[in-house]
């Protein structure tokens, strides 16, 4: 199972082997031993989440702090997203930098996001199903966020303001500079 380096310590793109024939396809989307041996990823996933979104939906950027921080393995079941992460690990050489990758039905890529990153996505196709595994349970009191529209992050948004569908909660997220005191991870 090939893993692609992203230039961010610990974060990798996983491209599963896909076996296709006249019936369709089969792929192994996760194997703990392969992730450990080939990519040195030793996460114990405890929660799976899935969302359905329409074109123009913008979700995130979200993260949990302290002992509630989460590593995630994200992918698209159907449709397409522009997946966005921001390194919030103060000791990291990529601190404050964003990484963007397209995940869709065709490329079947997965992105492993270690603890200490804010995560979000922009939906580019209607009826997109997004799936992610977490290595820690959701904890509302530890949840924080950063506005995906923060100009400092320099994230290219493929929609006009009128096309974007953003929750009220996400519309009120602070900038990266405004969350500096909350950036601690275990």
Catalytic annotation, pick one of 54, 95, 132, 184: 132
Is 132 annotated in the active site? Answer: yes
Q: How far apart are CA 111 and CA 147, in angstroms?
A: 21
The active-site residue out of 30, 54, 62, 119 is 62
To the query of whether residue 139 is one of the catalytic residues in this protein, the response is no
Which backbone phi and psi does 158 adopt, to 5 degrees?
-85, 15
The residue whose two tokens read 């997220």 is: 173
Q: Residues with catalytic annotation?
A: 62, 132
């Amino acid at each position: 199972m090939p893993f692609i380096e992203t230039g961010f310590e610990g974060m990798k793109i996983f491209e599963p082997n896909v076996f296709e024939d006249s019936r369709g396809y089969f792929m192994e989307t996760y194997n703990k031993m392969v992730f450990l041996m080939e990519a040195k990823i030793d996460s114990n996933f405890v929660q799976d989440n899935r969302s359905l979104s329409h074109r123009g939906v913008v979700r995130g950027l979200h993260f949990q702090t302290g002992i509630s921080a989460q590593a995630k393995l994200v992918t698209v079941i159907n449709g397409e997203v522009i997946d966005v992460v921001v390194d919030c690990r103060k000791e990291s050489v990529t601190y404050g930098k964003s990484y963007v990758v397209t995940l869709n039905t065709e490329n079947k890529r997965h992105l492993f996001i270690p603890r200490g990153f804010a995560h979000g996505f922009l939906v580019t196709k209607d009826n997109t199903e997004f799936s992610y595994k977490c290595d820690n349970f959701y904890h509302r009191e530890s949840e924080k966020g950063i506005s995906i529209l923060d100009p400092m992050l320099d994230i290219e948004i493929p929609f006009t303001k009128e096309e974007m569908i953003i929750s009220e909660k996400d519309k009120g997220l602070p900038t990266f500079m405004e969350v500096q005191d909350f950036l601690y991870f275990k």
